[in-house]
Amino acid sequence: MKQTIITLQNKKKSGEKITMLTAYDYSMARLCAEAGCDMLLVGDSLGMVMLGYPDTVSVTMDDMIHHTRAVSRGCGDAFLVADMPFMSYRTGMRDALVNAARLMAEGRCQAVKIEGGSELCDLVRQLKLGGIPVVGHLGLTPQSVNTLGGYKVQAKEEEAAVRLLRDAKALDEAGVMGIVLECVPRELARLVSEEISCFTIGIGAGPDCDGQVLVLQDMLSMYSEFRPKFVQSFADVGAAIQDGVRAYCAAVQDGTFPDDSHSFTMDKAILEKIAAEYTAHEK
Ligand code: KIV
C-alpha cells in the first residue's frame, strides 16, 4: 500500500511504529522500499555519505534534486521526503518557496524537511498552502553544526528542553506532517511525542518516538568514518562488498574469471576466414 500523509498519521494514532531510512540512489531506494520501509529520506547527509564532504554545509539544491530524482524512481510505496539543503530556506520567503517547489517538481519528492524551530512556522504555513508538505527537524540539526559546536546531544538542560518542546508545538500547530528529533534525551522525545498531534521520527532520541530513522549506510556498516552511539549495525554490507571485490580481483588475476560461461562465441568458419584473409594479409 502506498504510504501517504494519512496512512502515516494513522500509524501514530494506532501506535504502529513508522520506519524511515535515508536513500540517495535508485537501486538502494528500490531495495529499501521493496523490503517494506514506510518512508525514505534523501537526507543532506548525502554530503558525507555520497560526496565525501566533512559535513552537510556544502550540499547544494542541484545535489539534492539530482539524488531525489533518482530515489523517486525507485521509492515504490514508500513516502519520499527530501532535505532542503543549508541556507536554501533562510534567505527569504520567496527563495524558500522557489527552492521547495524545485525539490518537489524536479526531484519528485512528496515532502520537504527543514531544520529549525518556531522561526520557520510562517514558511511551513506558506509551503502547506502551496501544496508542499513539510517535515520539521529539531534537536541536533546538522546544518547548524558550526553554531552548535559539534555533533552533541541537545536539550539536556531545562531551558533548551523547554525551547525544544515549544518549537515542536509551534511547528505542529503551523502544520508540519511530522518532526525528526535528533540526539535528544529519550524522556524529552517521549514527552514531545505525547504532546503533539503530528508524528515524531527519532534518531538518537530513544524508543518512544512514533517512528525511527537511520542513515542507511550507517546501519548497514558501509560508512566507517563516524559511528554515533545511537546507530546499530543491522548487516555488515561493507564487509560483504569488500569480500566480493577481493574475490573478483583474485579471480581476474588468476584467470578463473571470466570463463566459457561468461563468454560469447562466433561461427568457426567465419573466424577461420578472418584469420586467413586478414591476419595472414597483415603479416
Ligand atoms: O540528512 C539526514 O540524513 C537526516 C537524518 C539524519 C534525519 O537529516
Known catalytic residue at 182: yes
Q: Is the pLDDT of residue 60 over 70?
A: yes
pLDDT tens, 15-28?
Answer: 999 999 999 999 99
pLDDT, position 119:
98
CB 155 within 8 A of CB 161: yes
pLDDT tens, 219-276?
Answer: 999 987 778 899 999 999 999 999 999 999 999 999 999 999 999 999 999 999 999 9
More confident residue, 228 or 168: 168
pLDDT, position 58:
97
pLDDT, position 281:
56
Which one is catalytic: 34, 158, 159, 182? 182
pLDDT, position 181:
98
**Among 207, 180, 208, which residue's Cα sits nearest to residue 194?**
208
C-alpha to C-alpha distance for 60 and 247, rounded to whole angstroms: 37
pLDDT, position 231:
95
How many Å lie between the centroid of ligand 1 and the Cα of residue 256?
Answer: 43
Through-space distance between the first and last CA atoms of the chain, rounded to whole angstroms:
67
Mean pLDDT of the chain: 96
In the numeric block, the cell 502551496 is attached to 130
pLDDT tens, 190-226?
Answer: 999 999 999 999 999 999 999 999 999 999 999 877 7
Reported confidence tier of residue 133, pLDDT bands at 50, 70, 90: very high
Does 213 contact ligand 1 (Cβ within 6 A)? yes
pTM of the predicted structure, to 2 decimals: 0.95
Residues above pLDDT 90, as percent of the chain: 96
Nearest Cα residue to atom 4 of ligand 1: 43
Reported confidence tier of residue 279, pLDDT bands at 50, 70, 90: confident
pLDDT, position 280:
64
Least confident of 90-99, 127-136, 223-232: 223-232
How many Å lie between the centroid of ligand 1 and the Cα of residue 204?
Answer: 11
Q: Is the pLDDT of residue 282 over 90?
A: no
pLDDT, position 226:
74
DSSP code per residue over 12-79: HHHTPPEEEEE--SHHHHHHHHHTT-SEEEE-TTHHHHTT--SSSTT--HHHHHHHHHHHHHH-TTSE
How many Å lie between the centroid of ligand 1 and the Cα of residue 246?
Answer: 32
Average pLDDT (113-132) is 98
In the numeric block, the cell 523517486 is attached to 72
